[in-house]
Amino acid sequence: MTKEQFLEGQVLLIDKPLNWTSFQVVNKLRWEIRKAFNIKKIKVGHAGTLDPLATGLLIICTGKMTKQINTFQTQIKEYTGTIVLGSTTPSYDLETEIDNTFSTSHITEELIQETTKQFIGEIAQFPPVFSAIKKDGKRLYEFARAGENVEIKSRQITINTFEITQIALPEIDFRVVCSKGTYIRSLAHDFGKALDSGGHLSVLRRTKIGDFNVTDAFSVEKFIENLPSK
């Protein structure tokens, strides 16, 4: 790919690595593109944040294609992952330590499959308090880390598919197809609660955004390898 192509605008599919923020990926690619082509300034942005503990498809736009970011963000997304039943964490994932444990002895495969039906369609969902949503000019996670209680409003989201792909209690693997604004961490938490137990997310991978698939994505390292070297 040429300097002119990057400046004119490209859509890059990147497989975000574990423990990277989405902004770290954007900053790394921007730096590497600038260095490879000796560009002083280039617009680079991403279409849809992934948590540091999630991996998978990140759409990165350069140049004039950054104007399309909002369009990509509104598209349907697909995720796969693992929910651990019987315990909860304040962040609803592994960012924080387990704070409560619950019995799972009553949970059967039939109950799990039946409970998924409660989460199909348009539902009201409360975002995790450990999230980047802004309230009164601050991120929610800033309130959470300071130990401050804050009122969070629910939002309407749509879950098209909630499929259980494997059960090996306390872990269950799933596939979800959902709308913009869906928090899979909240789904894991709410699903555990609906099973009269706890639940938190231990693995999350975004596999699709609209027609884009993670199977077509490059790792950060591979993308950099393909850039011209000085």
Long-range contacts made by residues 41-50, C-beta under 8 angstroms, separation at least 24? Answer: 42/6, 42/7, 45/69, 46/22, 47/72, 47/73, 47/209, 48/22, 48/72, 48/73, 48/77, 48/180, 48/206, 48/209, 49/22, 49/132, 50/16, 50/22, 50/206
Both tokens of 108, joined, read 């059967």
Residue 196 falls in the annotated catalytic set: no
User: Which listed residue (51, 93, 136, 211) is catalytic?
Assistant: 51
- Find the distance separating the first CA and the last CA of the chain, reported in whole Å: 15
Residues designated catalytic:
51
